[in-house]
Structure formats: C-alpha cells, structure tokens
Homo-oligomer: A and B are copies of this chain.
Amino acid sequence: MEHLTIENIKTWERFYRANFINCLSGFKTASLIGTVNAAGQPNLAIFSSVVHLGSDPALIGFINRPLAAAPHTINNIESTGVYTINHVLPSFADKAHQSSAKYPAEVNEFEAVGLESQFLDHIKAPFVLESKVKYALSLVEIVPIKYNQTFLVIGSITDVLIDTTLIQQDGFVNLQEASSTLCLGVDAYFTAEGFARYGYAKPNSSLEKIQ
C-alpha cells in the first residue's frame, strides 16, 4: 500500500487526476434528473451525487457543478421548483451516459439520447418512462458551496413511482432485483449483489445477520 500526498497528486495530468479523485469517494447510484424550463422544454441529465438527507421530512440532496459547466438542470429547478430523479437500468445505461454530453439548452435530451419522457398528473417535470424506480421532488433550498462554486440542491419528495412488489415487509426496497445501476469515476457502470443485512446495531449486543 502506497502513501500519496495531495502535493504529489496535484502534479498529475488533469484527466488522470479527475478520474482518480472521482473514484476515491466510491460507487454511487446513477440518477437521471428530469426538468423543464419556464417554457416547458424538457431537459435530462445524469448525476452521481444524489445523497439521502433525512426521511422525515423525506429530503434528498444532489450536487450541481458550477453554473458555467452545468447550468440547465439547476436553472430549470430554480425556475419551476420541480424535478424528478430516475434510477438507471443496465438496458439504457449507454443512453443515460450520453445525456452527460454538453447539449445546447434548446435540445431535448430525451429525444437526443433516445429515452421516453413520462408526465404524470400535475407534476411539471418529466420522469424517464423506462426507469423502474423514480420520484418527484419539490425544491426546498439551493445551498451555494463557496469553496468551489458548486451547489447542494435540496428537495423534498412529493411522489414515488415504483413497482411495490420491490418493497419488502420492513420497508426495505430490493434495488438489486430492480437492477438499479451504480456508477464509478466519470464513465463506469456497475450492478450490485447483496451479501448481508444486519439489522439495528446496539452497543452491548452482538449483531444478528437477518438476511
């Protein structure tokens, strides 16, 4: 095992370093975020930075890159207050990845990459029809991260579209059966295989493996 210091890493070639640093924080769930602009023009983009903030209220965060690099999703969310997050399946991971290309604002990425938009009731933002686990959010707050011009976008879950046979008797969702896809670094995709559920841990009792 080697010890690398940041002074050393800073001397690396830019794309090599970005790939390495992106990988260090580990696997993430690949998530397609669907929005519309004020004129109703749909937008779709892939994100790897979705994070659980709390279950009551049900809050989810994601990191949006600086405005100069990635303006469409965050601008649409700011102007409409609504967005959807859609899990990716291996069967359309290539199309999901293609949505990371820098399309002009007037391009509808659903059409450009070949995925179908799905509108539901009065929710303005489009879902991805092909996705099997997806939810809509209402914007709560956009927190600027001053140190590198990124943003933490916080939303509150309003609606969930899911095959309820995936939900187990304790509320656990079998995302392995759903084939929800992971990403790593800037361009790698994975599926997951479970090896244990341990139940709730307490200080003075040993763990009981429940599955």
| Residues in chain B near residue A21, CB distance under 8 A | 52, 55-56, 58, 157
**Interface size range of chain A in the complex:** 35 or more
A112 in contact (CB, < 8 A) = yes
| Residues in chain B near residue A65, CB distance under 8 A | 54
Top 3 A-B residue pairs of the complex, sorted by shortest distance between their CB atoms: A26-B29, A19-B171, A16-B171
Docked-complex contact A57 and B25, CB < 8 angstroms? no
Known: A6-B58, A49-B52, A94-B209. A147 touches B154 (CB 8 A): yes
Docked-complex contact A14 and B56, CB < 8 angstroms? yes
Q: Mark A36-53, 1 if CB is under 8 A from B, else 0.
A: 000000000000111111
How far, in angstroms, from A160 to B36 measured CA to CA in the complex?
41
Chain A interfacial positions (CB closer than 8 Å to B): 1-6, 9, 12, 14-29, 31, 48-61, 63, 65, 85, 87, 90, 93-94, 97-104, 107, 112, 120-121, 132-133, 135, 140-141, 143, 145-148, 150, 152, 154, 156-164, 167, 170-173, 175-176, 180, 182, 184-203, 207, 209-211
| Residues in chain B near residue A61, CB distance under 8 A | 51, 63, 145, 152
How far, in angstroms, from A113 to B56 measured CA to CA in the complex?
29
How far, in angstroms, from A210 to B161 measured CA to CA in the complex?
33
